[in-house]
Structure 1
Amino acid sequence: MPNKGISIRWVSEAGHIELRHQRDLDRHSVCGIFGLVTKNGPVDADQVDRLTDLVAHRGPDGRGVRVNGNVGLGHRRLAIIDLTDDGAQPMRDTRVPIWITYNGEIYNYLELRAELETLGFVFYTASDTEVLLAAYVCWGENCLERFNGMWSFAIHDERDNTLFCARDRFGVKPFYYVNMATQFAFGSEIRQLLPLIERPVADDDLVSDFLVCGLTDHTNRTFFKGIEKLPPGHRMRVDVSTGRVDIERYYLLVPRLKVTDEENAAQLLRGLLDDAIRLRLRSDVRVGTCLSGGLDSSSVATLAARRYGSMSSERFFAITAVSEQATNNEEAYAAEIAAKSELNWLRTRPSYEDFASTAEALLEVQEEPFAGPSIMMQYEVMKTARSNGVIVLLDGQGGDETLLGYHRYYAAWLLDHFQRAGVRKFLSAFGEAMRAGIPPRRLLMYLFGAGSAGLRAAFYRLRYTFLKKPDLPESLRRFSRKTRDAQQMQVLEITETNLPMLLRFEDKNSMRFGIETRLPFLDYRFVEFALTLPTGIKLNKGWAKWPLRAAMQDLLPASIVWRKDKIGFAAPDQLWLSRHSPAMYDKVIGSTLLARYVDMGAVQRKFHRLDLGMRWRLYCVALWGERFRVGAP
């Protein structure tokens, strides 16, 4: 389907505004933002142009740049709602002199628009961007509390000459920034900020944390020293005159209500998920879903297909990445859902050759190292969606973090039984967990190993003696202290140790192909409700995510509702990395950056005896250093 694009450039020079249009057809990319504030003179409009266009892949349907004095705003547009040129950005409010560049979707914009209209606001477009601006005019910074969606934006408020920037509650949309002596800049991707710093330099702590255990995105820093992220649930105010930057939290993840009845919990949970999906189906372009065949993606696909069928004459699209390794494959489960919900089911089956030829490009897309090749499966799903005209994809990301879907939560659950009813109840619960498919060895590991930061740190030091800094990351030390409390573990995983990493992978993979992904399980109402549920309901009779299983058992096949295993879009790591090891070895041994963090002689002697995860991490850091020309401090 051809795209009609528009390019706009605004430049204010002594009251003169230049407007330039440029139309382009069939350009595939996605939504991206950029901003620049200079502290010692006017902004260079051409520089704002260039750095905005470094994320042209995020925005196929239009581009705009506005420069006024020492402030420049840029935008690349992916048109999802209001496909006319009326939705172009940077956009000015019709009432007051404020301008916005914005990436994301406010899903409840229709409800907010109706409320604002009763307060006297008049709207001239059908876009959610205009609603966002009106909400800011009406409620100021408190407008953030009213939004249900994902967002990363900056508003230049000319009334007090400040930039008001904000990121959504859980950080679905990225916001990178640099704050230097002469300028402040932000962007949707790191590549927009690299030309502004003297040279790319590695953050030693983050590289070391990654090499030890694959942890990423657990701080507000990036792998590039000096480039940071606005934390999820935070807002920023930049004084354009002085360059002062103030950041504060506006959202804190806390339980909002108490539900103790199992049946009622399942019913309420399904209602919240269904409504989250209803909001996320709002689009003026084709919508589909990712479908792995697991409980989360099957629930989203089933509920979405039911609603989509009442709105569209075409079948709902679902896309599955199929592993070429039969033991690591959920295709049969996905096929059940595709048949039951009459989906337009698309499959992609990447081979080792696909992986080998894409690995370096995938690293460039991600911009920072990542812990394994499985994100290539997601990358292939996004590519398949775009080639079939599916511009918006729902996804089941967040279901495990909100409903205790990981085995590590069983330690807190078992200890809760022990504390409430003693050894007999503990042993009974242990047996229930085994019958639900959890191996006893894994239960014991989380009970006695994961809760001890000292034991875990000693394990890494003994296993990876060639690392110069084999310290356990501070985030994992905190996590170890939380393993006795499931709710505290959840908050840490959602805000720090797990979800931020997954959201970064998803954003970069989808945006590479001009795909907007929407995550019903991260509707803030759903997250807050799930966090409130007692551990005994979320983990019931040994079954993880019990409320979702109970809520969906009348719609999903029993083979999926009561599955004991979990695979997802897993790559055939053993197959791919074993075959790729010679190429990985060559890249590792030739890396001058990597030599800063490891004893290269020891790595050279034992590389092919290392576990595949470590081989990949070494390779990924070497490749990252090469692709981005990263130096040591």
Structure 2
Amino acid sequence: MCGISGIYAFSPEGRESIQNLPKSTEALKLRGPDSGGHFTHGAVGLGHRRLSIIDVSEVACQPMFDEAQRYTIVFNGEIFNYQELKKQLQEKGYSFFSTSDTEVLLKLYIEEGPSFLKKLNGFFAFAIYDKEEETLFVARDRYGVKPLLVFQDEDKLVFASEMKSLLAFGIPRKLDYASLYEYLQLNYIPGPASIFKGVKKLMPGHYLLINKKGKVDNKRWYRIPYDEKKVKNNPLSYEAQQKKLVELLDGAVQRRMIADVPLGSFLSGGIDSSAIVALASRHTDQLNTFSIGYKDEPFFDETKYAKLVAEKYKTNHTVFSLTNNDLYEHLFRALDYIDEPFADSSALAVNILSYYTRQKVTVALSGDGADELFAGYNKHMAEYKVRQGGFVAETVAALLPLWEMMPKSRNSALGNRVRQFQRFGEGMNLSAKDRYWRWASFATEEDARSLLSGKSKRNLSKDVYKKRRQKILSHLSQKGDINEVLLTDMQLVLPNDMLTKVDLMSMANSLEVRTPFLDYKVVNFAFSLPQSSKIDGGMKKKIVQDAFRGMLPPELYKRPKHGFEVPLLKWFQNELRPMIMDDLLSDAFVEAQGIFSVKEIQRLKAQLFSKNPGDVHARIWALVVFQHWWKKWMA
């Protein structure tokens, strides 16, 4: 796991930017604290920061060259089947000077060209320069586990693992108002767009091929193989499907336990991370597991369930039991690392878990991806019930005026249920596409637009926004089933929210996180399964729960799913109140900044400090994150 940056200059003016390569690379030091290096040749520059995982010797440092010095690679990620691929290359006459997966990647490209990507099992963003042809090949993994940002103008193309690294090249910082509008709804910015005009995210499963004439080909090399007809005619019985899932996931876990440094696993007490621990325990009797608990928030504390799994599999279990004050002390460290507005508040908990886990190990397994693959979210059950219809669904929708009047909160069981009923009622009468967007959002389009100042509204291109939204929702139809929703989640929520969160917060702590559920063999299998294997009227993530029922403590099946939460509302009403009222969201700052409506922010602040704040703290958090980002990167 590392950080990469690079440049291809198309003009003399572009070549002047190559001098910024060391600064750009240094900005990635937390991603790769162990070593760094640069390479330049004519119009091309490549930079690398290394977090040593496989082959920690100096010979595996990057940039790495082939023996003839024709090809150069910088690589962020891990290739889990590299030993198998290495053997194939050796049979063709290739020799190796290291035991790293980086060298295998480089020589596989030399042998096969871009088509080799389909052989890779892992996650990655990398660039390979061919000195003879003067071409630069840049690729990103199938699902977007590893990030890659790109900026191109007439003089150059630059790329980097993080925005702060890209900005070191001196690119223009012009706000993209369509991205801001999406952010105010979703709390993150969907790719390929970014917060800056001109900066794009290389999409998952895509690669770039750049030549000396400045031609840039952007090609898709992978798409999830979903075929509705084949899914409906899946020949496997449900029992056979369960067996196949365990078999594939076990292989994925085993592949991800290869490391030359200490390795462990996150263990939340949920089904997903517990299944990963159960499988990992087959391959080692010294598995380290890690959980965080909340001393001051018993409603969200799930460590007792994690302990049951740890005891069953005799892992070396560590619980980091934290107070609200502990969480608060890490708040600004996380905010300072974020270089594009990103307001999923659970990132704060992931940051803390990564911080403490890194003190024990360098690599951690996680259960991320299972919810998007197998329908594990409440919105999936809600969508299922809308599509099934019936008396209960219609009654909940009919009582929408009641739910709107009642107090709502994520911090209590009753308040959270009322909140869910209201969202269900709002979505019941919408089209499949509008409902998906509404349930993916924290604010409606109308609410987000009301937050913008008059100037911002004029700068917002509705056509650009609509085209982006239409593309994201293109897989959804009125007659489809949950698999269409999951396919959309895999292209919106997973890469732009869940994986971004884990990458940002783990890399802020120099920790590598590996996700067995996102092994491409598991993903391809998941999208061969019918809706009935994933969800029914009483169970989300059905096949995962059933497949591991015999391996996990029964108590895990008798509890609600909370996920990672942090006490934002309490902080806003106490410790963070001066920062909100007198600084980031003060009338004076908002008015001078000119982006947001002073009047609307006043209204949100009044709701925040009222007796019925509802879900407003999620929207306030999005504003706090943006304002903190603005002060650091734009003011």
Instruction: Settle same-fold status: TM greater than 0.5.
Output: yes
| C-alpha separation in 2, matches of 1:351 and 1:566 | 21
Call closer, same or farther: CA 1:482–1:607 in 2, change over 3 Å: farther
> Does residue 1:189 correspond to 2:169, yes or no?
no
Residue 584 and residue 345 in structure 1: after superposition, are their counterparts in 2 closer, same or farther (change >3 A)? farther
Please name the residue that 1:346 is paired with.
318
One-letter code aligned to 1:448: N
Q: Structure 1 stretches of 5 or more lacking a match?
A: 1-29, 310-314, 431-436
Q: Partner letter of residue 265 of structure 2?
A: T
The residue that corresponds to 1:279 in the other structure is 255
Decide which of 456, 461, 480 is 2:446's aligned counterpart. Answer: 461
Does residue 532 in structure 1 map to residue 525 in structure 2?
no
The match for 1:380 is: 352
Do 2:338 and 2:629's aligned partners in 1 also have CA atoms closer than 8 Å? Answer: no
Is the 1:59–1:514 Cα contact (8 Å) retained in structure 2? yes
1:228/1:116 CA distance change after superposition, 3 Å? same
- The 3 A distance-change label for structure 1 pair 605 and 144 is closer
Q: Distance in 2 between matches of 1:132 and 1:374?
A: 34
Counterpart in 2 of 1:572? Answer: 567
Distance between the aligned counterparts of 2:301 and 2:528, measured in 1?
Answer: 33
Alpha-carbon distance, 1:200 to partner: 2.4
Q: Tell me which residue corresponds to 1:296.
A: 272
2:252 paired with 1:267: no
Structure 1 position 396 matched with structure 2 position 351: no
Residue in 2 aligned with 1:32? Answer: 3
- What is the distance in 2 between the residues matched to 1:199 and 1:452? 34
Question: Counterpart of 1:486?
Answer: 482
Contact 2:266 2:364 in 1 (8 A): yes
C-alpha displacement of 1:67: 1.2
Q: What is the aligned partner in structure 2 of residue 9 from structure 1? A: none
Within-5 A mapping of 1:498-513: 498-513=494-509
Q: Match of 1:335?
A: 307
SS of corresponding position for 1:375? helix
For structure 1, which segment, 452-461 or 124-133, has the greater mean C-alpha deviation from structure 2 after superposition?
452-461
Is 2:589 aligned against 1:591?
A: yes
Q: Percent identity?
A: 29
Kindly provide the CA deviation profile for residues 458-480 of structure 1, in whole angstroms up to 9, marking residues without a partner as x: 95526984445598976666649
Q: TM-score, normalised by structure 2?
A: 0.84
Alpha-carbon distance in structure 1 between the residues aligned to 2:516 and 2:130: 32
CA distance in 1 between partners of 2:134 and 2:495 (Å): 35
* 1:133–1:174 CA distance, 2 compared to 1 (3 A): same
Question: Which secondary structure does the structure 1 equivalent of 2:126 belong to?
Answer: strand
Q: Is the 8 A contact 1:588 1:594 kept in 2?
A: no
Give 1:125 deviation, angstroms: 1.1
> Among 230, 237, 240, which residue is 2:202 paired with?
230
Q: Deviations over 1:394-428 (max 9, x none)?
A: 1111010000111222355346657xxxx69999x
In 1, are the aligned partners of 2:20 and 2:169 still within 8 Å (CA)? no
In structure 2, what is the Cα distance between the partners aligned to 1:331 and 1:565?
14
CA contact (8 A) 1:238 1:245 kept: yes
* Cα distance between partner residues in 2 of 1:596 and 1:537: 51
- Whether 1:517 aligns to 2:507 is no
Match of 2:40 in 1: 67
Counterpart for residue 113 of structure 1: 86
Q: Mark the CA change 1:360 to 1:403 in structure 2 (over 3 Å): closer, same or farther.
A: same
Matched, 1:362 2:334: yes
Match of 1:620 in 2: 625
Matched residue, 1:243: 214
Aligned match of 2:432 in 422, 447, 451?
451
| Counterparts in 2 of 1:69 and 1:308: CA distance versus 1, 3 Å | same
**Stretch moving more, 94-103 or 447-456:** 447-456
Aligned to 2:605: 607
Secondary structure in 2 matching 1:363: helix
Greater mean alpha carbon deviation, residues 97-106 or residues 586-595: 586-595
Q: Structure 2 vs 1, CA of residues 217 and 44 (structure 1 numbering), >3 Å: closer, same or farther?
A: closer
- Aligned pair partner of 2:634 in 615, 623, 629: 629
Contact conserved, 2:590 with 2:596, CA < 8 A, in 1? no
Check conservation: 2:140, 2:204, Cα contact below 8 A.
Answer: yes
Q: Is the CA contact 2:191–2:496 (under 8 Å) kept in the aligned structure 1?
A: no
Report deviation, 1:443: 5.6
Distance change >3 Å, CA 532–CA 425, structure 1 → 2 = farther
Matched residue type, 1:293 = G
Instruction: State whether residues 208 and 597 of structure 1, in contact with CA within 8 Å, keep that contact through their aligned partners in structure 2.
Output: no
Are 2:38 and 1:78 equivalent residues in the alignment? no
2:402 is matched with which residue?
A: none
SS at 1:603 equivalent: helix
8 A contact 2:181–2:448 mirrored in 1: no
**Mind listing any 5+ residue stretches in structure 2 that lack a counterpart?**
398-415, 609-615
User: 1:15 maps to which residue?
Assistant: none
Amino acid paired to 2:3: G
Deviation at 1:208, TM superposition (A): 1.8
Q: Distance in 2 between matches of 1:406 and 1:518?
A: 21
CA contact (8 A) 2:344 2:497 kept: no
Q: 1:47 to 1:425 in 2, by over 3 A?
A: closer
Which residue identity does 2:181 align to in structure 1?
Answer: S
The residue that corresponds to 2:150 in the other structure is 177
Summarize deviations over 1:308-338 as a string: whole Å, max 9, x none: 22xxxxx311111223311112111111112
1:374: how far off?
2.0
Change (3 A) 1:215 1:492: farther
The 1:412/1:361 distance shift into structure 2, 3 A limit, reads closer
Letter of the 1:524 counterpart: Y
The separation in 2 between residues aligned to 1:201 and 1:242, in whole angstroms, is: 27
Of the three residues 225, 234, 238, the one matched with 1:254 is: 225
Cα gap change, 1:300 to 1:576, in 2 (>3 Å): farther
RMSD after superposition: 3.0
Residues 137 and 460 (structure 1), Cα distance of their counterparts in 2 relative to 1, 3 Å cut: closer
CA distance in 2, matches of 1:277, 1:584: 44
Does structure 2 retain, via aligned residues, the 8 Å contact 1:293–1:568? no
Superposed displacement of residue 110, structure 1: 0.7
**Matched length:** 580
3-state DSSP of counterpart to 1:57: coil
Give the superposition deviation at 1:613: 1.4
Q: Secondary structure at the match of 1:306?
A: coil
Name the CA shift for 1:425/1:223 in 2 (closer, same or farther; >3 Å). Answer: closer
Change (3 A) 1:396 1:577: farther
Q: Is 1:140 equivalent to 2:113 in the alignment?
A: yes
Q: 141-150 or 321-330, which moves further after superposition? A: 321-330
Aligned to 2:410: none
Asked whether the 8 Å contact 1:408–1:446 carries over to 2, the reply is: no
Which residue type is aligned with residue 297 of structure 2? Q
Deviations 1:541-575 (A, max 9, x none): 52111111111111101111x24521222223333
How far 1:173 moved relative to its partner? 0.6
User: Offset at 1:303?
Assistant: 1.2
What's the CA shift string for 1:420-470, capped at 9, x where partnerless? xxx69999xx9xxxxxx9999366555435737399599552698444559
